[in-house]
Structure 1
Amino acid sequence: MTPAQQMHVSLVAVPGSLAMPVAGLYEVLTAFPVVAEFHDEVPSSPPFAVEIVGSTPGTVTAGSGLPIAVERAVADVVHTDILIVPAMAVETGWTAGQHPELVAWMQRAHARGAVLCSACTGLGLLAETGLLDGLPATTHWAFGKAFHEVFPKVELHLDEVLVTAGEREEFVMSGGAASWQDLVLYLIGRFVSPVAAQAVAKFELLERHAEGQAPYLPFLPDTQHGDRVVSRQQDWLAENFSVARPVAEMTGRSGLSDRAFERRFKRATGLSPIAYVQQVRVDQAKRMLEQGDLPIDQISWAVGYEDAAAFRRLFKRIARVTPGTYRRKFSPAAPR
């Protein structure tokens, strides 16, 4: 494949970028000659021309302290086909306006037809362009609340690990820190071939998170909503989630009618009382699966479900994996 036929990929690096996704994306997108030695349908000529770009050429310091070499300033990148903003270190939310030259460059790249991508917290810089307003997106689940406060017009889907958006699917966003693997395999599958993506995944031992971010999501309910009646019931449920009729108990304790309590609870927490109970119980079941070897039927009983089959269905609906798969995935003592 000649240089003229290659797709140009710009990996954005700024102070605080994470070194692992920058290096991982770079190495996987340039690994085709090696992978081709083991797979006939993988092109031996690299289909991507990859370079690390930033505000100025030189070295920036990653969030971990490692140096990242920036090869070219974005002002000198007139054309790029794929633009990727990898994860950045974010401590207290997103501070807009730190890289106006990068935001303006991304807007110009989009106007010229580039595909704009983000991995993890890199979504913040991509969102500053305003191009994602009204569109679905994803990022690391822990970054979701802080992101929404700054960019309320972007529709976050934190249970998803990979989201595409735009009329020509020109926005591609991946979730947690390791989801750059899902992003790079998607790009290879889309712009080279699904066979090439599969071959690269096997060669590099990359893993797709087919179940999304749902198995990784802890339940972090809103308790700062200001409704003391609801917050008292939330506190009570945290200790009494396994009782037989928790919604009826909370309603009775609140002193409200059934309809009034449900309406008030949902307004405060964003969830109906029964959906909230289910989230609390599944979250507790996750902890028990991670930390011990109790049979799943006993865990079902311990969190409030006499019907173990119903518990398994609920668990899979919320976590997107079965309890057994969850235990194998996250328990340090689980057999491999």
Structure 2
Amino acid sequence: MATAEAQVTPLSGLYEVLSAFGLLAALEPDVPAKPFHVEIVAPTVGSLRGASGLPIAADRSLSEVDQTDIAIVPLMMFAEADWKTGRYPDIVDWLQRMYRGGATLCSTCTGVLLLAETGLLAGRQTTIHWAFAPTFQRNFPDIGLRLEEVLITAGDPERFVMTGGVFSWHDLALHLITRFVGPSAAQSMARLMLLDWHSQGQAPYVGFLPVLDHGDALILDLQKWLETHFSIANPIEEMSHRCGHSTRSLERRFRKATGLSPLDYVQNIRIEAAKRRLERSNKPLDEITSEVGYENPAFFRRVFKRHVCMTPGAYRRKFLIPRVPVSR
């Protein structure tokens, strides 16, 4: 499925991987040569330009497709990460019809916004790139959001498959191959195309996006203060002193404004600061622990792993900015 806001890379990537079985079958004869018949459909047939301006060629229009086994809505980009419902009523109607006809509906990243508009995900859970979580939650409060997951299936029997993150289309492609062709074929395709299974989910990639538009000036002032004072020994007591509220009163007001307790908020800021230091320096972990406000390295490691789903050492190995090779 293509729209004028679609990103070309996930769309073309899925198309090419699911169409690459001819090459794979030549290398591994046990793999079927064409288990999928892949087409790009759009509201109208012909060429359109995606979000980046690159062209997308649609094979058929929506009105020409009355039935399909799988329908995929790819990642879309839109202004200020703010989704406005009602942009594509014809696509929403088409997705509903395909679902009634037995199709499995899939999405990568922000494509789930169109799936959500069908009403078919109400009361279910899904995932999306963390940067688009606020607009998703504003538009679809009746759908649970699990940002730590990279792929979620829902329905009976799992007729919704949704992934979060720009390159989570790798996970969707491999999931569909596993499901409709077999796990060995998926593993073979992953080797052939250098595809990644993001088995640790999105948690290592998720950034902290604090709520700032809550309208509580006192809490906003404390949030700004925390940006540069998060590492002091007792930030919550200091905030209570600064605003003249008891700790309990502050917690109620802070949670109402931001959705987090002051302690959880401080921990999120500290973990983000630690992630930047792990990515950009070779400082010892004990030094980073102290810089972001923790006295006990073992406690810091537990808090870090709870938030990021990997240890600080594993995070550094994965995300440390590599040195540029110097030619000699």
With normalisation by structure 2, the TM-score equals 0.93
Asked if 1:46 corresponds to 2:46, the answer is no
Aligned residues: 324
> 1:335 Cα deviation (Å)?
10
CA distance in 2, matches of 1:101, 1:305: 53
Partner of 2:124: 135
Contact 2:278 2:320 in 1 (8 A): yes
Paired residue for 1:211, among 177, 190, 200?
Answer: 200
Question: Structure 2: any 5+ residue segments left out of the alignment?
Answer: none
Residue aligned with 2:215, SS: coil
CA distance in 2, matches of 1:183, 1:334: 32
CA distance in 1, matches of 2:91, 2:183: 31
Partner of 2:215: 226
> 1:134 Cα deviation (Å)?
1.7
CA distance in 2, matches of 1:273, 1:334: 38
Q: Which moved further from structure 2: 151-160 or 272-281?
A: 151-160
CA distance in 2, matches of 1:124, 1:229: 34
Q: 1:227 to 1:317 in 2, by over 3 A?
A: same
CA distance in 2, matches of 1:95, 1:250: 37
2:92 alignment partner AA: V
Paired residue for 1:329, among 293, 318, 324?
Answer: 318
2:64 alignment partner AA: D
What percent identity do the matched residue pairs reach?
50
CA distance in 2, matches of 1:96, 1:256: 41
Residue aligned with 1:37, SS: helix
CA distance in 1, matches of 2:210, 2:46: 43
CA distance in 2, matches of 1:64, 1:232: 38
Paired residue for 1:105, among 88, 94, 114?
Answer: 94
CA distance in 1, matches of 2:153, 2:43: 26
Contact 1:90 1:121 in 2 (8 A): no
Partner of 2:56: 68
Contact 1:328 1:334 in 2 (8 A): no
> 1:334 Cα deviation (Å)?
6.3
Asked if 1:55 corresponds to 2:59, the answer is no
Asked if 1:86 corresponds to 2:74, the answer is yes
CA distance in 2, matches of 1:333, 1:89: 29
Residue by residue, what CA displacement relative to the aligned partner does 1:178-218 show, whole Å, maximum 9, x if unpaired?
A: 11111111111122111211111111111111222222222
CA distance in 1, matches of 2:135, 2:125: 16
> 1:40 Cα deviation (Å)?
5.1
CA distance in 1, matches of 2:164, 2:206: 11
2:67 alignment partner AA: H
Partner of 2:148: 159
